[in-house]
Structure 1
Amino acid sequence: MITIDALRVRDGEQTPLDGVTMLLTANAVHGIAGEGRSVLLRAVYGLLTPESGRISAGGRPLRRREMAYLEAEPHFWPGLTARDCIDLVRRCNPASDPAPLLRRLPVPPDAEAAGMSPAERKRLALVLLLMRHKQVLLLDEPFRGLDVESLFAVQRLILQLGTEGRTLLVAADSLTPLDGICDDLYVLGGGCVRGRYEHYEFQRAARETGFAGK
């Protein structure tokens, strides 16, 4: 169980998170939509320091080494090819086999990663993230920039990861790609949780929050 307790995060004069509380069961896919979703994932990963509140797992602080984080817009060092990036991650994770992931999320191996299309960069970033075999995965806008075929492949992959005992937090700017892959859904707004919904309540979530997405 990951517990986010009364989390408050300030950004200059704004407070995108102001008392956010969530109880996130392990071995599940949790959808997150609405304002402040990216801030929440960055705070969970430790990229932002909360002004107050607590993030814990099983009663102890959640450690970054237990997690992997996919940023909304992946960036790569200029000059590195996709193959170079994969080889670098494989050196740190020698037991990883990228081949099955690349069959589902293909990328041009000899293309410069920084110059690839948005969809290709997103697929490569997901491959690199999953090669690290972390138990908790934070996916910020994993569907953004994807074509229909890639979006479907990522949805199926998320479903599989949820059945493998991983805990996923998946943030998206629309409810549509989250529907059918999440165990539950949290909708944020005004700095707090506007509602929590079970996997079968997505239509009610759209009605009650007014958040249908793009």
Structure 2
Amino acid sequence: MITIDAIRVRDGERTPLDGVTMLLTANAVHGIAGEGRSTLLRTVYGLLKPESGHISAHGHPLRQRDMAYLEAEPHFWPGLTAGDYLDLVRRYTPGADPAPFLRRLPVTPDAEAAAMSPAEQKRLALVLALMRRKQVLLLDEPFRGLDIESVFVLQQLILQLGSEGRTLLVAADSLTPLDGICDDLYVLSDGGVRSRYEHYEFARAAREAGLAPGFPEK
């Protein structure tokens, strides 16, 4: 169980998270939509420090080393190829094998990562995150920029990872790719949790889309 307890995060004069509370069961896929979703994932990963509140796992602090985080917009250093990045993860993650993921999310190993198309950069970033075999995966806009086939492949991968006992937080700006893969859905608005839906309530979530600021598209 990951407990997000009354998290408040300030960004200059804005307060994108103001008292956000969630109880995220382990071994499940949790959809995150609405305003502040990226801020929430960055805070869970430890890139942002909350002004108040805390985040824990099973009653203990949630450690960054137990998580893998996918940025919404991946960034790569110039001069390094996709193969270089794959080798780096293999070096620091004993037993990491990119082959099962590359078969489903192909990239060109010899291509310079920084010069690849946005879609191929997203596939590479996904492979690098999944290779690390972390128990908790934070995926920020994982479907953005992908073609239809890759979206479907990623949906199947997320379902597989959830069934293997991982805990996934998947943030998206549309309900469509989340439907059918999430155990529940949290919608953020005005700094807090506006709504929570069980997996069987996505039809209701779609009906309510657009009724409040920050609600995602259908």
TM-score band (shorter)? over 0.9
Aligned length: 214
Match of residue 37 from structure 2:
37
Contact 2:34 2:216 in 1 (8 A): no
Q: Equivalent residue of 1:84, what SS? A: helix
- Rounded to whole Å, the distance in 1 between the matches of 2:173 and 2:24 is 20
Q: Which amino acid aligns with 1:21?
A: T
Q: Secondary structure at the match of 2:53?
A: strand
- The residue number in structure 2 matching 1:119 is 119
- 1:213 is the counterpart of 2:212: no
Give 1:96 shift.
1.1
1:82 partnered with 2:86: no
Task: State the one-letter code of the partner of 1:59.
Answer: G
Q: What RMSD in Å do the two structures reach over aligned CA positions?
A: 1.0
State whether structure 2 residue 194 is matched by structure 1 residue 194: yes
SS across alignment from 1:47: coil
Looking at structure 2, the residues matched to 141 and 66 of structure 1 have their Cα atoms a distance apart, in angstroms, of 20
Long gaps (5+) in structure 2: none
Match of 2:14 in 1: 14
Alignment of 1:168 onto 2:168 = yes
Contact 1:195–1:209 under 8 Å retained in 2: no
Q: Determine the C-alpha separation between the residues in 1 that align with 2:166 and 2:176.
A: 22
1:69–1:137 contact (8 Å) kept in structure 2: yes
Amino acid at match of 1:187: V
- The TM-score normalised by the length of structure 1 is 0.98
Contact 1:90 1:96 in 2 (8 A): yes
Answer yes or no: is the 8 Å Cα contact 1:141–1:170 preserved in 2. Answer: yes
Between 177-186 and 91-100, the greater mean CA deviation after superposition:
91-100
Contact 2:33 2:216 in 1 (8 A): no
**Equivalence for 2:150:** 150
- Structure 1 segments of 4 or more deviating over 4 A? none
SS at match of 2:88: helix
Decide whether the 8 Å contact of 1:194 with 1:209 is kept in 2: no
Partners of 2:94 and 2:56 lie apart in 1 by 30
How far the C-alpha of 1:164 sits from its partner, in A, is: 0.5
Shift of 1:209: 4.9
Secondary structure at the counterpart of residue 69 of structure 2 = strand
Q: Normalising to structure 2: TM-score of the pair?
A: 0.96
Identity of aligned residues (%): 83
Instruction: Answer yes or no: is 1:106 the counterpart of 2:102.
Output: no
In the TM superposition, what whole-angstrom CA distance separates every residue of 1:124-172 from its partner, at most 9, and x where no partner exists? 0111111111000000000000000111111110010000000000000
Q: Which runs of 5+ in 1 are unaligned?
A: none
